[in-house]
Amino acid sequence: MSEEHLRPEALIELLREARAGRRSHPALEVAHHVQTVGVDFLAAELKAELDLARRAPHVSALAREQLDCLLDKEDGRYSYDTYLALPLLRAMTPEGTARRTSAAALIIDVVQFELAAFHGDHGRLPLCRPAAGTVRKRVNHALRHLGRHGFAALPAGLDVFDREAVRRCADVVRAAVDPEFLELLPATVQPVSPVHDEYMFIRVLQSYESVFDELVDRAAETITALRAADLAAAVTRLSHAAEALERASLLFSLLATMTSDTFHAFRDRTEGSSAIQSAQYKRFEALCDTPSAERLRSDAFRSVPAVRAEVLAGQDTIAAAYRALCPSRKEEPAHRAFGAALARLEAAHQRWKSTHHKIAVRMIGDRPGSGYTAGTPYLKDRMDGRLFSTTDRRQTA
């Protein structure tokens, strides 16, 4: 087994050399050490040196993002975003990168991490490693997901433990991704524990954030098309949004390969970080239709004050833009096509919420959520929530 991480004293020396300007910031060495011991188990002296490193006058913006996310608990800033290193992930993603391309890079990274761990190639996240059957199932689900992204998956029936075949599949994805992004990608997993499955858990949640980013883009484009009276373009954008949610459903299959016991081996250390804090998911919801006053008062929106402020400022929505467009001509074919696209997106969203609830029930039962929420009862209460009001659905029927 190759040992990728450095002992604390060796890593401290690298950090000091970087502060002195004798070398670049050791982003990957920091990441490998964190992935071996877990953020919550870093030595106090090392955390002090990491803090000094981010305060150095010549530290790069990306290095500072990595260290800010890593030291979030020390600063009292721990959140869903910092746990997932989203500020770093978004800052290092080249402008113009397709959402599905960056999401595919995250998933193929899971495949490579799982197989490398199974074959003993690294010592990262060494606790509670899954059995061969679980690894096979997990990799198969991941490759099926990549197939939905338009990348060539492995032929049916091929053994996923065929390392050369998996490498060829990975190369197809990696060839579409910026090399510098790929080089720094390992730094975007900062687990709180050394439990193996936390790596996959983080990558799946990051992948969902990529989906939400795409949904926000498509919703904004739909509004623009409607304001330009271009119903055909609006239908296309809505269809793309529905496809993104439908494509993302396989991510739940990946999460389902994790046992409840393994999940709870690290979950208690993520208190204060919850998907309820996902700003992009709330932004998508608010771009579809203006949330009710009750919804805006909920913990979900109070946890994302920037999005709440956008809504209260009177931002445009798909529902409002459509209501303003030829309200008396909704029987025409173009309007019927729009209504069908709207219904498809609504249905995809409902299926997504239902699957999310089922997975949460299996994993956490009736325990409170990790973001100081009610957990699964909250998800159940939201099952009746819709992206679009009853009136809007009736008008487009």
Residues 25-37 have a mean pLDDT of: 96
Residue whose pair of structure tokens reads 């409002």 in the numeric block: 320
Angle at 47 between CA 187 and CA 42, to 5 degrees: 75
Higher pLDDT, 312 or 299: 312
What does 139-172 look like in DSSP terms, one character per residue?
HHHHHHHHHHTTSPPPPTT--TT-HHHHHHHHHH
User: pTM for the whole thing?
Assistant: 0.90
Q: Render pLDDT for 134-167 as a digit per residue (tens, 0 to 9).
A: 999 999 888 888 887 777 555 666 677 888 888 8
Going from N- to C-terminal start, the domains of the chain cover 8-92, 99-177, 197-395
Q: Quote the pLDDT of residue 2.
A: 45
Higher pLDDT, 116 or 374: 116
Q: Render pLDDT for 256-265 as a digit per residue (tens, 0 to 9).
A: 999 999 999 9
What DSSP state is assigned to residue 127?
B
Q: Render pLDDT for 253-294 as a digit per residue (tens, 0 to 9).
A: 899 999 999 999 999 899 888 777 889 999 999 999 999 999
- Looking at the chain, the whole-number percentage of residues with pLDDT higher than 70 is 88
Longest CA pairwise span in the chain (Å) = 73
Confidence of residue 248 (pLDDT cuts 50, 70, 90): confident
Residues near 164 by beta carbon (within 8 Å), at least 6 away in sequence: none
Confidence of residue 370 (pLDDT cuts 50, 70, 90): very low
Cα separation, 17 vs 25, in Å, equals 9
Residue 397 predicted with pLDDT over 50: no
Q: Measuring CA to CA, which residue among 70, 56, 68 is closest to residue 21?
A: 56
Residues 204-215 have a mean pLDDT of: 94
Residue 57 predicted with pLDDT over 60: yes
Residues near 68 by beta carbon (within 8 Å), at least 6 away in sequence: 54, 75, 77, 82, 87
Residues near 142 by beta carbon (within 8 Å), at least 6 away in sequence: 107, 108, 110, 111, 114, 254
Q: Quote the pLDDT of residue 226.
A: 96
Cα separation, 160 vs 222, in Å, equals 40
Q: Which of 67-71, 301-305, 378-382 has the lowest mean pLDDT?
A: 378-382
Q: Render pLDDT for 306-349 as a digit per residue (tens, 0 to 9).
A: 999 999 999 999 999 999 987 655 568 888 999 999 999 999 99
For domain 197-395, the CATH architecture is: Up-down Bundle (1.20)
Q: Quote the pLDDT of residue 371.
A: 47
Angle at 12 between CA 10 and CA 15, to 5 degrees: 115
Residues 190-216 have a mean pLDDT of: 96
Q: Share the mean pLDDT of the chain.
A: 88
